[in-house]
Structure 1
Amino acid sequence: MTELADKTRREQFERAAADGPAHSLRVAAGRWSRSGYVRAAVLYLVVRVVGLGALAAMAAPRDLPLGDRLQSWDGWWYLQIAEHGYTGVSNPLDAAGLPYPDASYGYFPLYPALTGLLEKLPGVTYFGAGLLLSTLAGIAAATAMYRIGRLVHSQRAGLLLAVLWGAAPMAIAESMVMTEALFTAFAAWALVGVLERRWYLAATATLFAGLTRSTACVLVAVVVIAAAIDVWRNRQRWNALVCVFVAPLGLLGYWTFVAVKTGSVTGWQDVELRGWNTRFDAGAEAWRWITQTLFTSGNAWETLVVLVMVAAIALAVVCVTGRRMPWPLAAYAAGVLVLVLCSAGLPALKSRFVLPGFALLLPVAMGLAGRKKSTMIAAATVFVLVGAWYSAYSLTVWKYAI
């Protein structure tokens, strides 16, 4: 019996050794297929395919090439900077249509820099590199949202948050040559770092977010305050102290770079004012725009954009007053919305500008996660379809949404 048992164990060991690599791969593949991160990424990509399909369906009858739609407006600037650098942009103009060589400095450097790196891959164009970058960044953002939802509420809430963000009004920007997906990926992972007190992750992600777009000023404030509180409460947390000093470097570094190039301490703000007539006005223009649109204007599309912003305000109130939202998420969500509302210029773009405030959707995700599965799926499906139409309409019919 002993000899038989030894022989059986020896045969099992030899068989396992022979199948070792294949068996390990099968086990790993099985685990990944069941992973919430993979499901979040797949669901996000499905939602984005629906959005792109809606755009293609609405663009075709109007003879609008899909590729042109996906690189319009800001996309043109990013591709020019990626290919030619800041000083090589072709015929840069200001808000009045006059030549303005410094206009390109309004765009932060990380997105075009990464686009330029991806373009070096065989057979990849600058446009293709930009789309690839946005897609990969969107996946990274979706996985971070899954993790946040799981930390705050449940696995289902995390999956729903990824789906809702991928289908939000103007989510088409996540599949364009634009920075929404890249910035949101950095912001989401930075907030993961804050929630888990992984301060090196928070610092690194915030630094890169600061090189991506100016919305990082909200993220920097939240991350630095959270890290400073941790330093105060736990005097031995040197990693949190490092985060306090490292997190702002990306944003401050680029603003300093523009100040040197333009010869003005407020160089970047000056570029925004002349190039796009964008400035901080404490919400005066947003208030006029909302009230005029709702009560005096007859433009149906602008009314819909205003309703989206009103919904965002309501969600921000829920985030701030709700007991289930950790304060860093609530502060970030509300901060992004306040920044958007208090910035004058291009009011019809506000539904896109608020897209990085993904945490605004967390109360919706948590609410749906507690419903019956059929109710959850039905509500999410309607949201996806409406969001796909909204984005497609904005790029094919309404010419001021991007």
Structure 2
Amino acid sequence: MGGGVRRSLRRALPALSVFVAVRVLGIAVLSLWSASSGKSAHHLLSQRWDSIWYVRVAESGYDFTVHAPDGRVLSDMAFFPLLPWLEQAISWLSPLGHADAGLLVSAVSSVLAAWAIFLIGEQVGGRRAGTVLVALWAVLPVAIVQSMAYSESLFTAVAAWALVCVLRGHWVTAGVLASLAGLTRPVGLAVALALWAACAVRLTGREAESELGPGSEPGPDRASGPDRASGPGPGPGPRAERDRATLARMAVGAVVAPLGAALYILWVGVREGSLFGYLDVQGEWGNGFDGGIAFFRFIGGLLAGPSFAAGVALILGVALAVWAYVAGVRQRQPLPLLVYCAVVAALAFLSSGYFGSKPRLLIPAFPLLIPLAFWLARRSTRTLAVVLSVVAAGSAVYGAFWLNGSGPP
């Protein structure tokens, strides 16, 4: 086990080095920009917007509300508990305050997420594609959020490692990680659905060839070699016992996967005295699933006003995301990745709420980057280095401009 982890880490080291370099560049540019504006980069990363709500939960639990000028009651129960729990634990075990503990969680989580993203990219396209995939995730326009005391990095780390376990047949571990993803963000249910899809594929015997791409290693629940090629045999034997054990692990993983989100949502319902209490809490924040009506009305408003260019840019962004997903389907990406990505993207685009949040809500949808990673991986090393360097610089500048301006909510 330890040897496998070390080999995996050695393979991922170049990708992780690129990721850390890009994140350091982003923080350095943010620090210089903030200093020139008389602001604190540390404050922008750890004590603004959602970060404040997570810290309040870590400090005093779920007991804080804000009465908005329009009469809405904004409750901290809209924020899932895993990040504040970790902030609380780290603050108790170390001299760090809750806000700095949140920064530490994001820093560690972002690297762990990059490691898992590399393994997924390596499995479906080879080591070079995996490295490029990590680099692309690092240079997203809003990638500075990966370094904030927000839950995006934590969620992506837990979700990506759950997907790694799903693709390798580690069903129980995948279920536990999916449950943790559900304790991090409401979209954590996307991970549970991905696991269920993988179970369905395995049970129907329609396992996609792409699930054992270059660089993958069969998990303990995967049949391989002669056992995989052979038939069921004349009667009960080692393979039958192994199949029963696999089914048992799949069942455990499938049951555990949604528990994190389900239990938290039920707890909020009990606190609110309503079965749909969590939806009521989110509704007060203006969040809800409306099939994209509010989002497309927002785009229409931009197109009809002085922000026409911004509206066009949003349409192009949505079209690019749809193209990337369709390209992933055509590449025959593993079904769990497609299911996970579809749910994350759908909840980002088809829900109401603050529309400036849409880009950061797509940060966990890293499989959308796989088609572009494959294409760039076929380019020369020099071309790849130039493209990624230019985009990384642009991402760092935009991140600094964004956080010193409107920033994420």
Match of 1:214 among 186, 190, 207: 186
Contact kept, 8 Å, 1:204 with 1:247, in 2: the verdict is yes
**Alpha carbons 2:192, 2:254 under 8 Å: kept:** no
CA distance in structure 1 between the partners assigned to 2:398 and 2:348 by the alignment: 20
Give the drift of 1:122.
3.3
| More displaced 10-residue stretch of structure 1: 377-386 or 303-312 | 303-312
Could you tell me which amino acid in structure 2 is paired with residue 250 of structure 1? G
Q: Which residue of 1 aligns with 2:213?
A: none
Q: TM-score, normalised by structure 2?
A: 0.84
Unaligned residue ranges in structure 1 (runs of 5+) = 1-27
Look up the SS of the partner of 2:186 in the other structure.
coil
Q: Does the alignment pair 1:173 with 2:182?
A: no
Q: Per the alignment, do residues 303 and 58 of structure 1 end up closer, same or farther by CA in structure 2, a change over 3 Å counting?
A: farther
Alpha-carbon RMSD across the aligned residues, in angstroms, is 2.3
Deviation at 1:303, TM superposition (A): 5.7
Query: How big is each residue's C-alpha offset from its partner over 1:313-360, in whole Å with a ceiling of 9 and x where there is no partner?
Result: 32222223x224222212222221111111011112101111111111
Q: 2:376 aligned with 1:368, yes or no?
A: yes
Identical aligned residues as a percent: 33
Match of 2:62 in 1: 86
Pairing 1:347–2:367 present: no
Aligned partner (choices 272, 283, 305) of residue 292 of structure 2: 283
| Residue in 1 that maps onto 2:217 | none
Whether 1:335 and 2:343 are equivalent positions in the alignment is yes
SS in 2 for 1:258: helix
Distance 1:63 1:231 in 2: 59
Cα distance in 2 between the residues matched to 1:214 and 1:364: 28
Residue 325 of structure 1, aligned match among 318, 333, 336: 333
1:51: which partner in 2? 26
Rounded Cα–Cα distance in structure 2 between residues aligned with 1:300 and 1:44: 31
Offset from partner CA, 1:290-314 (integer Å, 9 cap, x none): 2332453427667655544443232
Q: Which of 270, 281, 294 is the aligned partner of 1:271?
A: 281
Change (3 A) 1:58 1:111: same
1:147 pairs, out of 119, 131, 156, with 119
1:377 counterpart residue number:
385
Contact persistence 1:228–1:241 (CA under 8 A): no
CA distance in 2 between counterparts of 1:301 and 1:136 reads 34
**28, 44, 52: which is aligned to 1:76?**
52
> In terms of Rg, which structure is larger?
1
Task: Indicate the residue corresponding to 1:312 in structure 2.
Answer: 321
Give me the whole-angstrom Cα distance separating, in 1, the residues matched to 2:294 and 2:50: 22
**Residue aligned with 1:273, SS:** helix
Letter in 2 for 1:222: A
CA shift for structure 1 position 44: 1.3
2:305 to 283, 290, 296: 296
Aligned to 1:257: 267
CA distance in structure 1 between the aligned counterparts of 2:369 and 2:42, rounded to whole angstroms: 29
Greater shift after overlay, 368-377 or 50-59? Answer: 50-59
Is 2:258 the counterpart of 1:248? yes
Contact 1:281/1:343 (8 A) holds in 2: yes
- How big is the shift at 1:271? 0.5
Distance in 2 between the 1:299 and 1:389 partners? 24
Query: What CA distance in whole angstroms lies between the structure 2 residues aligned with 1:50 and 1:79?
Result: 26
Greater shift, 305-314 or 257-266, is seen at 305-314
1:39 aligned residue: 14
Q: Render the CA deviation track for 1:142-180: whole Å, top value 9, x for unaligned.
A: 110111011000111111111211221211111111000
Q: Deviations over 1:3-43 (max 9, x none)?
A: xxxxxxxxxxxxxxxxxxxxxxxxx9xx7798122233222
So what's the TM-score if we normalise by structure 1? 0.85
**Relative to structure 1, is the Cα distance of residues 241 and 151 closer, same or farther in structure 2, using a 3 angstrom cutoff?**
same
Amino acid aligned to 1:325 = Q
1:199 matches 2:135: no
- Consecutive unaligned residues of structure 2, counting only runs of 5 or more, are 206-239
Structure 1 partner of 2:404: 396
Q: Which moved more, 1:216-225 or 1:262-271?
A: 216-225
Question: Is residue 174–residue 195 contact of structure 2 (8 Å, CA) maintained in 1?
Answer: yes
Give the corresponding residue for 1:137.
109
Distance in 2 (CA, whole Å) between partners of 1:358 and 1:165 is: 7
Residues in 1 aligned to 2:396 and 2:318: alpha-carbon distance in whole angstroms: 17
Task: Tell me, yes or no, if the aligned pair for 1:313 and 1:337 is still in contact at 8 Å.
Answer: no
